[in-house]
Structure 1
Amino acid sequence: MKVRADIAELLRAGNLTHAEIARRLGVDRGTVRKVQKALGLPGPRRGQARAHASLEEAFWAHIEPSEDGHARWTGYRDDRSGLALVFHGKARVPGPRLAFRLRYGRDPVGRVTHACGRPDCHAGSHLADDVTRAANRRADRAFERIFGDPP
C-alpha cells in the first residue's frame, strides 16, 4: 500500500482521532485506518478523543486559516443543516456564533451571515449580525449622500 505522507505525519503526531484526520485532509476514515495499520501504529482508544480545555480551544482546534484571510472550518457539521458545531463538555455551539463572539466580544444579535460570501469561512471579521449589517447600511447611505450613487 502506498502511504500518504500527510496522513502518516498526523497519525505519528498522535493527538488527533481518525475522524479529525479524515476531516482535515478530506479523506475517508477507512483510508486513515489503512495507513495506521500499514505503518504498524497502535489504533486510537475508543472514547479517548482529545479533550479540549475550553470551548474556545475546541473552536480553534478545527480552524484552518488561509493566506487570504479566510478561516475554513474542519470540524463537525450537522448532517441535516451542514451547520458547523463546536462541542465542549455539554455545550454545543454553532461555529459562526462562537467565531463572532470571539472576534467582537459579544454575542451576535439575530442571524450570523458570512459577509465574505464563503459559507465555509469562520474568520470572525468575515461574519456579520443584525447590528453590523445595519451599521454597514447606514455607512453605505452616508457614502451615497456624500459621493452620489455608485457607477
Structure 2
Amino acid sequence: MSTLVTNRRSRPHADTATADNWGARGACVGRLQEFAAGEVKAKAICATCPVTAECLSAALLEEGRASRYYRDGVRGGLNEAERAALVPREQRPAPAVGELVGDVALAETMLRAGQHPIRVIAAATGMSGSSVGRLRRSLGLPLVADTDARTPLERLTARTEPGEEGHLLWIGGPSVCLAGGKEISGLRLAFRLGYGRDAEGLVKAHCGMPRCVAWRHLADRPMRRTTIKKPRRPAPAPGPAEYLYGIEPGHWEGENTWVPARVVRFPITRKTPKRIYYVRRDDPQTPEIGNVDRQRIEADGDVYRVSSGWWEADSRLYLAAPDLDQYLRAA
C-alpha cells in the first residue's frame, strides 16, 4: 500500500491502465522523466494536455477528503494544496481538541489486524501518524514494525526536489515515518543526514528560501546561539620612533669630572596641528612632558624654548640630530 494517496511515481498516465483509456491521450504519456523533474515542468505539460479535466476528476475521486499532506504530485494541472482546496470546507471540519480526524473505524480495524505500520494506516485513513499512534495506545495494541526498506536518504529524496543556488525544496507531507513508525520532520531528517547528529531544539533554515531543507542551510538552537567571532584585526606594526633633538652643554660633575657636550634625544609622544609633545625627563613615576610650536620647528628646523635655561638640553630643539662638532666650533 502506498504511503500517499497519489503516488507520484505512478504518473504520468502512460504507466497505468485506465478504464476508458483517456489517460492514453495525456500530454504526459511517454514523458515520465520530464514530468518528474518538478512542479513547474509538470504544470507546463498539463497546460497542453487535452484530458486535463478527466485527470483532475479522477484525482479528486481517488483522493477523496484526504488533506494536502496525503496527496502527492501534480494531477490535472494542480498540485496537492490546490487540489485539497477544491474539497468543500464543510467536508473538512476543524477538529476539536483531542479529536481524531479521519476514518477512525478503518484505522482501528487495520490496527487490530496487526499487519500495517502506522505510516500505512495514516495514509489509508487520512489520519495523522500521531493520531494513529494515540489510537493504538488507547486500544493497548503493540506497534507493528515498518517494513519499508527505503533508507532515510531515499525517503528524503522522494519528498524533495532540487532548487536553484543549492536549495533543496520540500514537496512532501509535514513529516516522514522512519523504521518503527517514528515520525520526524523533513527539516530534522535533513539536518540529521547532513550533520550526522540529531538536532537540538528547533531547526531553522537561514537561507530565507521557503520550504528549503538543504542541510548546509539549516541550523539548530546551539548553532544559532554560537556567535561567529570576527577575526581580530592585527595590531598595526609600530612605526619608526620619532624624536626631537637637543644638545646638552659640557659641564663639570663635582670638582674633577668634566662631562663633554652630547646630543640628547627626546621621544615624541603626540602631535597636534599646533604643538609637538615630547618627554623632557623620563621619570618612571611621573614623566615630565614638554611641548613646542609645531609650525615654527617644522618651518625652521629648530626652535628655542625661552622658558628653559641655557644649560637645559632642550633649551633649543631640533627636528633632525644636530652636528655636534659644528655646535662646539660655534661655541
Q: TM-score, normalised by structure 2?
A: 0.29
> SS of 1:93's equivalent?
strand
Cα distance change on mapping 1:26 and 1:131 into 2, 3 Å? farther
Residues 1:87 and 2:110 are matched in the alignment: no
Match of 1:127 in 2: 218
Cα distance change on mapping 1:29 and 1:122 into 2, 3 Å? same
Provide, for residues 116-143 of structure 1, a one-character-per-residue CA deviation record: whole Å limited to 9, x for no partner.
01230010000001222233x2x2x434
Quick one: which amino acid aligns to residue 56 of structure 1? L
For residue 53 of structure 1, the aligned residue among 141, 150, 173 is 150
Match of 1:76 in 2: 173
Residues 1:3 and 2:26 are matched in the alignment: yes
> SS of 1:142's equivalent?
coil
- Structure 2 residue runs without a partner (length 5+): 1-21, 37-58, 60-70, 85-122, 125-147, 235-331
Cα distance change on mapping 1:121 and 1:88 into 2, 3 Å? same
What do you get for the CA RMSD once the two structures are aligned? 3.6
- Measured after TM superposition, the shift of residue 61 of structure 1 is 0.9
Quick one: which amino acid aligns to residue 142 of structure 1? K
- Measured after TM superposition, the shift of residue 66 of structure 1 is 1.8
Moved over 2 A (4+): 1-10, 18-23, 25-30
Instruction: Output the CA distance in 2 between the equivalents of 1:128 and 1:120.
Output: 14
Match of 2:202 in 1: 111
Instruction: Output the CA distance in 1 between the equivalents of 2:188 and 2:224.
Output: 15
Quick one: which amino acid aligns to residue 109 of structure 1? E
For residue 159 of structure 2, the aligned residue among 62, 69, 81 is 62
For residue 142 of structure 1, the aligned residue among 215, 230, 234 is 230
Provide, for residues 84-129 of structure 1, a one-character-per-residue CA deviation record: whole Å limited to 9, x for no partner.
x112341210110111111110111111111101230010000001
Q: Aligned residues, how many? A: 112
> SS of 1:72's equivalent?
strand
Given that 1:7 and 1:21 are in contact with CA atoms closer than 8 Å, whether structure 2 keeps it comes out as no
Higher strand share: 2
Q: TM-score, normalised by structure 1?
A: 0.58
Q: Which has the higher contact order (CA 8 A, sep 6+)?
A: 1
Instruction: Output the CA distance in 2 between the equivalents of 1:142 and 1:105.
Output: 27
